[in-house]
């Protein structure tokens, strides 16, 4: 199913940088779509467009459409709070709130008005389970999140997003601060999660893209050069620039 349809998306920052130029792509549900390409290509800008986080940045001009389930989320009347529940995000720095492990996961639900302890307990357990963290923390949910390792913190951030029952999960270089073991755990939860979610990730290197992606979009200087099944992109890219990037000629 086509979960996200992007049509003629253009975005310019106030300093004049054209960060996205005429972007057109379709992001399927129940799969991992990876945004690949050298720094400055527009991957983070694009991820932020998908839950309107650019509203908070210095964006002067944005045009085109981003349809999620057929509805254009760029329309001014879009309920941005509801959108951000539906489209959750995990950032590269694992930064839990200065609260307990439990509270980090329940926080979003409590802010949204959920007060029922049983409902919260269940949601916290489920989200921690989905993030493959429950087994490691179930007996110390009242400990400060600060006490967790970096990898555990990042899985906690993933659980925090999952607790809000999103349909789309955006991840911007989620393992760039993690060691290989912690990275493998995040990648394994993502492979499990994709059965039920639409996942869009900017992996932190090409090897990770090759490991996790079902679909790959190659971004270069604000343009999407190529989009296709991961296998095709890595074995027979259509564009010379994609091939050069994969061969490590730049970025
Ligand atoms: N808040 C901002 N204000 C101005 N320019 C920005 C801002 N964020 C990103 N850019 C510029 O937009 C371009 C794309 O950046 P980004 O989306 O971060 O790319 P990537 O994630 O692929 O490295 C770069 O030229 C970057 O300098
Ligand atoms: Mg980035």
Q: Is the CB of 15 under 6 A from ligand 1?
A: yes
Q: Is the CB of 54 under 6 A from ligand 1?
A: no
Mean pLDDT of the chain: 96
Residue 192 lies in a domain: yes
Residue 106 lies in a domain: no
Which residues have a Cβ under 8 Å from the Cβ of 180 and sit 6 or more positions away?
none
Q: Is the CB of 203 under 6 A from ligand 1?
A: no
Q: Is the CB of 44 under 6 A from ligand 1?
A: yes
Domain count for the chain, please give it: 1
Q: Please give the residue range of the domain that contains residue 184.
A: 2-96+168-246
Q: Looking at the whole model, is its pTM more than 0.75? A: yes
Least confident of 14-18, 49-53, 70-74, 164-168: 14-18
Residue 221 lies in a domain: yes
Q: What is the domain-level CATH number for residue 229? A: 3.40.50.300
23 within 8 A of 6, measured Cβ to Cβ: yes
Q: Among 40, 46, 54, 91, say which to mutate for ligand 1: greatest number of ligand atoms within 8 Å of CB.
A: 40
Q: Is the CB of 251 under 6 A from ligand 1?
A: no
For ligand 1, atom 5, which residue shows the shortest CA distance? Answer: 13
| 251: three-class secondary structure by DSSP | coil
Q: Tell me the pLDDT tens digit for each residue of 201-220.
A: 999 999 999 999 999 999 99
Residue 251, pLDDT above cutoff 80: no
Q: Tell me the pLDDT tens digit for each residue of 123-135.
A: 999 999 999 999 9
In 145-243, beta strands by DSSP E = 168-172, 198-202, 215-220, 223-229
Q: Tell me the pLDDT tens digit for each residue of 86-131.
A: 999 999 999 999 999 999 999 999 999 999 999 999 999 999 999 9
Residue 250, pLDDT above cutoff 80: no
206 within 8 A of 40, measured Cβ to Cβ: no
């Amino acid at each position: 199913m086509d979960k996200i349809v992007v049509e003629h998306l253009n975005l310019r920052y106030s300093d004049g940088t054209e960060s996205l130029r005429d972007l057109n792509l379709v992001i399927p549900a129940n799969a991992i779509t990876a945004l690949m390409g050298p720094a400055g290509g527009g991957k983070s800008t694009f991820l932020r467009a998908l839950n309107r986080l650019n509203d908070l940045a210095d964006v002067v001009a944005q045009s085109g459409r981003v349809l999620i389930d057929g509805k254009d989320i760029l329309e001014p009347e879009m309920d941005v709070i509801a959108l951000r529940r539906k489209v959750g995000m995990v950032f590269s720095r694992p930064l839990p709130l200065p609260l307990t492990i439990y509270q980090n996961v329940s926080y979003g639900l409590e802010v949204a008005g959920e007060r029922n302890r049983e409902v919260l307990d269940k949601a916290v357990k489920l989200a921690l389970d989905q993030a493959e963290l429950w087994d490691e923390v179930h007996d110390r949910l009242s400990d400060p999140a600060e006490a967790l390792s970096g990898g555990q913190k990042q899985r906690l951030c993933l659980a925090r997003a999952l607790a809000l029952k999103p349909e789309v999960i955006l991840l911007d270089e989620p393992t760039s601060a993690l060691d290989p073991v912690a990275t493998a755990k995040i990648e394994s939860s993502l492979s499990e999660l994709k059965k039920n979610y639409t996942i869009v990730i900017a992996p932190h290197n090409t090897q990770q893209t090759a490991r996790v992606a079902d679909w790959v979009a190659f971004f270069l200087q604000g343009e999407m050069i190529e989009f296709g099944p991961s296998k095709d992109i890595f074995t027979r890219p259509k564009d010379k620039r994609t091939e050069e990037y994969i061969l490590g000629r730049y970025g």
